[in-house]
Structure 1
Amino acid sequence: MFSLTPVVRAILILNVLVFFITNERIIEQFGLHSFLSEQFNPIQLLTHMFLHGGFGHIFSNMIGLIVFGPMLEQFWGPRRFAFFYFFTGLGAALLFSGVNYWEMHDVYETVRDYRLSPGVDAFSAFVDQYASSYYDRLVPFVEKFREYPTDPKNIKDSLAIVNQIFSNQVNEPMVGASGAIFGVIMAFGLLFPNTQLFLLFPPIPIKAKYLVIFYGAYELYSGVYRAQADNVAHFAHIGGMLFAFILVKYWNSQRKTFY
Structure 2
Amino acid sequence: MNKLTDAIKHLIIINVIVFIAPQLLKLDFTNILALHFPENENFGIWQYVTHMFMHGSVPHILFNMYGLWAFGTPLEKMWGRNKFLFFYFSAGFGAGLIYTLVNYYQFNIAFEKLIELGSTKAEIIELMNPGLVYKNEYLQTVNSLYSTPAVGASGAIYGVLVAFGIFFKDAKMALIFLPIPIAAKYFIPIMILGDLFFGMTKYSIGNVAHFAHIGGALIGFIIAWYWKKNQFKTN
TM range (shorter): 0.7 to 0.9
Query: 2:37–2:145: 8 Å Cα contact kept in structure 1?
Result: no
1:25 alignment counterpart: 28
Change beyond 3 A, Cα 1:228–1:36: farther
1:114 equivalent to 2:119? Answer yes
Query: 2:159–2:218: 8 Å Cα contact kept in structure 1?
Result: yes
Which whole-Å CA distance do the structure 1 matches of 2:42 and 2:112 have between them?
19
- Amino acid corresponding to residue 228 of structure 2 in structure 1: N
Which whole-Å CA distance do the structure 2 matches of 1:64 and 1:6 have between them?
16
Greater share of helix residues, 1 or 2? 1
Structure 1, unaligned stretches of length 5 or more? 119-125, 133-164
SS at match of 1:52: coil
SS at match of 1:230: coil
2:130 alignment counterpart: none
- Amino acid corresponding to residue 4 of structure 1 in structure 2: L
Which whole-Å CA distance do the structure 1 matches of 2:67 and 2:18 have between them?
18
1:82 equivalent to 2:85? Answer yes
2:171 alignment counterpart: 195
Change beyond 3 A, Cα 1:16–1:106: same
1:157 alignment counterpart: none
Alignment counterpart, residue 151 of structure 2, candidates 160, 175, 183: 175
Alignment counterpart, residue 209 of structure 2, candidates 229, 233, 241: 233
- Amino acid corresponding to residue 92 of structure 1 in structure 2: A
2:16 alignment counterpart: 16
Displacement, 1:253?
2.8
Query: 2:68–2:157: 8 Å Cα contact kept in structure 1?
Result: yes
1:128 equivalent to 2:136? Answer yes
Which whole-Å CA distance do the structure 2 matches of 1:114 and 1:107 have between them?
12
Displacement, 1:168?
5.4
| Deviating more after overlay: 97-106 vs 198-207 | 198-207
Displacement, 1:167?
5.1
Change beyond 3 A, Cα 1:17–1:167: same
- Amino acid corresponding to residue 223 of structure 2 in structure 1: L
Identity, in percent, stands at 39
Displacement, 1:237?
0.3
- Amino acid corresponding to residue 56 of structure 2 in structure 1: G
Q: Normalising to structure 1: TM-score of the pair?
A: 0.76
Which whole-Å CA distance do the structure 1 matches of 2:144 and 2:101 have between them?
19
1:138 alignment counterpart: none
Change beyond 3 A, Cα 1:213–1:106: closer
- Report matched runs for 1:86-165 at 5 Å: 86-109=89-112, 114-115=119-120, 128-131=136-139
1:50 equivalent to 2:53? Answer yes
The structure with the larger Rg is: 1
Structure 2, unaligned stretches of length 5 or more? 124-133
Displacement, 1:191?
0.7
Residues 125-153 of structure 1, C-alpha deviation per residue, up to 9 Å, x if partnerless? x9534146xxxxxxxxxxxxxxxxxxxxx
